[in-house]
Amino acid sequence: MSNLKNTSTQALTVTIPSDHTLEMGAIREGKNYPAPPYGMLGRSGRSKHKIDGVNVPFLLKQLTGTGHWFFWTLVEARDYETNLVKPTQLAGLSRQERGRIARAYKELEKKRLAIRTARQTYLINPKVMLPMLKYFERTWFEWEAACNKKGLTTEASVPFALKVTPGNSPPAKLA
């Protein structure tokens, strides 16, 4: 798990109703605290850890409703360390939802958002939904191996940056 380092102290004023309780603890400067778990979508550019990113919002905007549903179903059921989704994690889906998976999967595979590694077992691209950082390299290796086994490239063949055409100009830079 990643750690956050507290480097400063701040004053805090809180007003609470009399029937509520506020518990506070001292945070010692310089001590490492575990970061809360949260999902992190990849982005274009290069991270400070030298990981080339993927423009995930651009890819997600191109998905159909079924593709969106399946992608977020996988994200919700994934293992945070490995980005794997196993059959037991998809067991609660209705018969109708299981029928939608085949169509949605083809779309996710084409855009390299997720890939099937075994029957009902899926791997989410670690550059799209980042696993815990200490497991990224191992997860990326698994992603490359799964893509190579299927004869696919690791990155989608769709453009990751918006192309500027006469009717599609880029947004203005922020001041």
Q: Is residue 14 part of a domain?
A: no
Q: Is residue 89 part of a domain?
A: yes
User: Range of 99's domain?
Assistant: 56-150
Q: Is residue 124 part of a domain?
A: yes
| pLDDT at site 30 | 57
Q: Is residue 33 part of a domain?
A: no
pTM for this prediction: 0.65
User: What's the CATH number where 85 sits?
Assistant: 1.10.10
Q: Residue 50, by phi and psi: left (phi above 0), alpha (psi -120 to 50) or beta? A: left
Q: Is residue 49 part of a domain?
A: no
Model confidence pLDDT, tens digit, residues 27-41: 566 555 454 556 676
Q: How many domains in the chain? A: 1
Q: Which amino acid is at 38?
A: Y
104 vs 96: CA distance, rounded Å? 13
Q: Is residue 77 part of a domain?
A: yes
